[in-house]
Structure 1
């Protein structure tokens, strides 16, 4: 879609004072999907030259905000860590065309903060951390689970930039379990639940997305009983936290979340035992 209110496209490599009506341009799959009458300038990140994905010597994995879904998928196919399959599962949760795969970025998916964003699901489940850069050069780090604060809302100040997302080395060693549901075959995720079992201490993290307005990451020092798990989810997710739109009623989303959480508890709990 043409954005007929945009008068300039600026190169992000050239510092330019931020002003109202500016927006960062990554892949543009959202920006160009619907009218953006409030925008006047786009600051293009495509020429920054950031390495899409990098495995650091300490074992952590850094994903640039400009990394496309296709680039992340190709990189993950070479990963040999235990959690590697989760990357492809979440990339496939887009159910998107090859055009979207090759243009949509990991950073854009997080910054859109949609409940069904599968890159939010992936990085929150692996306890990843966002690196944010402000206009005055200050840096701050926020866990992905805290970065997305609601449907379409995120902890991002005016002009602040999501630079990268870092997955800790320990999370990559976790055994994971993935469950996803949609109301129809090629539909947007209505429920997406991920479990991660830490081999070092036997702890279990359960991450709930798509069915809720924001990510919920529940941590248990040891795999819980069925009753403990249900109680923890019911205590963490309030009635108003269940998402309600055309892709699923809150009651259905809650029912499927509890069902999938129990399936994951059994799957990973048996592994721990």
Structure 2
């Protein structure tokens, strides 16, 4: 879609050139959502591509995905990591989470981690990935400072997060400790290739800790860290999700999401309960 209110496109090559950013400026990464509908208040696009951030940085302590990393690159990690980092047994989640997004493989080559996270839609596939793997976002402030926080604190509701005007999401970091866990993935959508109504992911760490994340079904991520894989503990944790936290849209009613997410969580317990 043509954005006929846009007057200027900027392509900063250094961090300092990103600013100032105001309320009529839009940061452009892949642009798959930005160009999907009118942006009547936008007067300037700031294209992050010229900054040439490395899409994926692999270190001993974990993985960093740049905000400009595409979903195609994320998905490919499920094939790449087993050869490079055999201990990172959570590798299948990268492709699984990309597949939970309503988008064709063509869109995967343009849509980005940063756009998916910053839109903060309940069905954001990169939010599901980060929630399941103790992900933290790295944000640049216009003052030259950075801050880092868990994805579960960054996303505050449906299409809302803590990002302030002038702040730019730089990267998503996933620690090696989480990448080394055994994982199980479940999703449900109204149609086989439709937007996810429920995404539930479980992870068992080396010390037996069980991490369960529920996304898409809720307006923000809910992550529970339990001492072991235990159905009764999962049921108690699930019951603590507030009634107004369940997503209500054309892809599923809150009651359906509440009930079926628990069924999927119990399936995950059964799968991960045996080494």
Q: State the match for 1:213 in structure 2.
A: 219
Measure the CA separation in 2 of the matches of 1:256 and 1:233: 11
Match of 2:76 among 67, 74, 77: 74
SS in 2 for 1:171: helix
Matched, 1:31 2:37: no
Matches within 5 A, 1:140-219: 140-199=147-206, 201-219=207-225
Question: Could you say which residue in structure 1 is the equivalent of 2:85?
Answer: none
Q: Which residue of structure 2 aligns with residue 117 of structure 1?
A: 124
Specify which of 246, 253, 266 is matched with residue 249 of structure 1: 253
Question: Can you list the C-alpha shifts for 1:141-179, whole angstroms capped at 9, x where unaligned?
Answer: 010111111000011011101100110010110000000
> Following TM superposition, by how much is the alpha carbon of 1:93 offset from its aligned partner in structure 2, in angstroms?
1.5
Classify 1:245/1:194 alpha carbon distance in 2 versus 1 (closer, same or farther; 3 Å): same
Instruction: Report if the CA contact (8 A) 2:19-2:166 is conserved.
Output: no
TM-score (normalizing by structure 2): 0.94
- In 2, distance between residues paired with 1:196 and 1:210? 18
CA contact (8 A) 1:174 1:197 kept: yes
Query: Is it true that 1:260 corresponds to 2:264 in the alignment?
Result: yes
How far did residue 51 of structure 1 move?
Answer: 0.6
CA distance in 1, matches of 2:140, 2:18: 13
How many residues get paired? Answer: 267
Is 1:46 matched up with 2:49?
yes
Where structure 2 has 5 or more consecutive residues not aligned to the other structure, the ranges are 83-87
Contact 1:130 1:163 in 2 (8 A): yes
Give 1:216-227 correspondences, 5 Å limit: 216-224=222-230, 226-227=231-232
Return 5+ residue gaps in structure 1 as ranges: none
The residue aligned with 2:109 is: 102
| Partners of 2:9 and 2:45 within 8 A in 1 | yes
> Cα RMSD between the aligned structures?
1.1
Query: What is the Cα deviation at residue 202 of structure 1?
Result: 0.3
- Give TM-score scaled by structure 1 length: 0.95
Q: Distance in 1 between matches of 2:205 and 2:12?
A: 39
> Once the two structures are superposed, what CA deviation does each residue of 1:55-75 show, in whole Å capped at 9, x if it has no partner?
11x231000000001112223
Residue in 2 aligned with 1:12? Answer: 12
Give the distance between the partners of 2:211 and 2:77, measured in 1 at CA.
24
